């Protein structure tokens, strides 16, 4: 499985243009629209939301690339290896989380040196790790979309999922601006709980036990979805 992970990472490195394109929208929105207010709390909240928005977009739209690989017969080749569906999904999930590192780092640097976000070194590191590792359930969603749908449908499904989860998760605007009937649903989404971990860390608050539980449940459910999609996609490949 480690060999497969190395192979996929090398393929990503060679496709540097894709990674650079993934920065354009989140960085553009952060610099022009979502800088936050004059106080540090607003600045940090906007930065975390923009970084989460960028990482989310990368891992979900990754499904389009997976669907394109499947149309080229890559999935058939994988099924000839000793790797089980669970191993393939875990490996692809590990690689997909690496996709989120670039927007997280770039937006963090912009927050620090352009927006004036002031945090301790330990808090910066904690936020980075939470944004990186916490994207895992959303990476599984992107993988499942890629294995389940053809490339064009995967792109549509990924875009709809991305925009819907961004809105419900409160990444670009507070969830209390949503209709009152929608706010409880927002708090049960993986994106809201994902960003909440870093918002709490920036405020020196302990992680919410409920939030961690919701995120863990979503991780298990979406990993199962990705494994199901891999098996189903393999039969149709």
For the segment 131-154, what is each residue's pLDDT rounded down to a tens digit? 999 999 999 999 999 889 988 899
Residue 165 has a pLDDT of 93
CA dist., res. 229 & res. 231, Å (int): 5
In the predicted model, what is the mean pLDDT of residues 100-125? 92
pLDDT for res 160: 93
Q: What does the alpha-carbon distance between residue 113 and residue 23 come to, in Å, rounded to a whole number?
A: 17
**How far is 99 from 109, CA to CA, in rounded Å?**
17
Model confidence at 92, pLDDT cuts 50, 70, 90, reads confident
Please give the pLDDT value at position 71. Answer: 74
pLDDT score at 105? 94
The whole-number pLDDT of residue 191 equals 95
Average pLDDT over residues 126-135: 95
- Quick: pLDDT tens for 34-53: 667 778 888 999 999 999 99
Burial of 56 (0-12, 13-18, 19+ CB in 10 A): buried
CB contact at 8 A, 198 and 223: no
Residue 19 is predicted with a pLDDT of 62
Confidence of residue 12 (pLDDT cuts 50, 70, 90): low
What pTM did the predictor assign?
0.88
Q: Which region holds residue 169: left if phi is over 0, alpha if psi is between -120 and 50, else beta?
A: alpha
Kindly state the average pLDDT of the residues 205-231.
91
What is the predicted pLDDT for the residue at 11? Answer: 63
Q: Which tens digits make up the pLDDT trace of 14-29?
A: 555 556 667 788 888 8
């Amino acid at each position: 499985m480690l060999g497969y992970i190395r192979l996929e990472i090398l393929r990503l490195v060679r496709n540097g243009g894709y990674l650079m394109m993934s920065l354009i929208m989140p960085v553009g929105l952060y610099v022009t629209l979502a800088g936050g207010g004059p106080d540090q709390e607003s600045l940090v909240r906007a930065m975390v939301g923009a970084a989460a928005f960028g990482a989310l977009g990368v891992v979900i739209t990754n499904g389009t690339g997976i669907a394109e690989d499947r149309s080229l017969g890559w999935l058939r080749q994988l099924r000839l290896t000793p790797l089980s569906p669970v191993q393939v999904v875990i490996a692809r999930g590990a690689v997909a989380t690496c996709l989120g590192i670039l927007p997280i780092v770039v937006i963090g640097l912009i927050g620090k040196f352009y927006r004036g976000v002031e945090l301790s070194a330990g808090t910066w590191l904690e936020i980075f790790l939470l944004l990186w590792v916490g994207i895992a359930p959303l990476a599984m969603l992107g993988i499942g979309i890629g294995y389940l749908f053809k490339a064009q449908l995967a792109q549509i499904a990924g875009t709809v999922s991305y925009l819907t989860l961004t809105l419900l998760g409160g990444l670009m605007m507070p969830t209390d601006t949503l209709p009152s009937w929608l706010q409880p649903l927002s708090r049960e989404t993986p994106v809201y709980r994902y960003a909440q971990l870093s918002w709490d860390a920036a405020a020196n608050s302990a992680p919410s036990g409920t939030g961690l539980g919701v995120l863990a449940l979503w991780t298990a459910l979406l990993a199962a979805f990705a494994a199901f999609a891999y098996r189903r996609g393999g039969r149709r490949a």
